[in-house]
């Protein structure tokens, strides 16, 4: 899946790309997102990842309950998604697409372009105890061992 609106059917919960509204006029383009309207959760936090050195990886964990929308607001990067049974790489390179990632999805961000900026809209404030940072623990919680 790359850039489209395909739905990952095999997972219990569905990760999917969401095309966001675009307002275009002679002054340029504007894209917006509203919680519970364009994404299925209230937006409680935004953060962004930038100035990622070539070859570096970000993420490499899952969340117990947090849902998120991942957007390449500048440049490009890949998101590796894994629900324990299925693995998929989604390339993000358009600022009007968001990747919806449900809870209990192992995800890693990689292959950042030089100007790559990753905006993440999250359903919860930061809480370290919502992170699952150990892959075997993740598989155990998903019922896969």
Nearest distance from C-beta of residue 5 to ligand TYD, angstroms: 25
Nearer to ligand TYD, 5 or 46 (CB): 46
| Alpha carbon distances (Å) from 28 to 23, 89, 90, 104 | 8, 30, 27, 37
Residue 29 C-beta-side C-alpha neighbours within 13 Å: 8
Nearer to ligand TYD, 6 or 51 (CB): 51
Binding site for ligand TYD (CB under 6 A): 45, 47, 49, 58-59, 61, 126
Nearest distance from C-beta of residue 139 to ligand TYD, angstroms: 19
Q: How far is Cα of residue 22 from the mean position of the Cα atoms in its chain?
A: 20
Of 100, 103, 98, 107, nearest in space to 130 by CA: 103
| 61 is known as an active-site residue | yes
Nearer to ligand TYD, 59 or 75 (CB): 59
Q: Which residues are catalytic?
A: 61
């Amino acid at each position: 899946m790359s850039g489209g609106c395909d739905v990952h059917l095999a997972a219990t919960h569905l990760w999917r790309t969401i095309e966001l509204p675009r307002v275009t006029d002679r002054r340029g383009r504007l894209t917006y997102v509203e919680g519970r309207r364009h994404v299925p959760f209230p937006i409680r936090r935004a953060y962004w990842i930038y100035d990622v050195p070539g070859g570096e990886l970000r993420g490499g964990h899952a969340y117990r309950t947090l849902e998120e929308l991942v957007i390449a607001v500048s440049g490009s990067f890949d998101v590796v998604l894994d629900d324990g049974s299925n693995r998929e790489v989604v390339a993000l390179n358009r600022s009007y697409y968001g990747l919806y990632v449900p809870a209990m999805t192992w995800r890693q961000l990689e292959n950042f372009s030089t100007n790559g900026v990753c905006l993440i809209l999250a359903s919860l404030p930061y809480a370290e105890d919502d992170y699952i940072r150990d892959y075997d623990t993740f598989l155990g919680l998903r019922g896969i061992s």
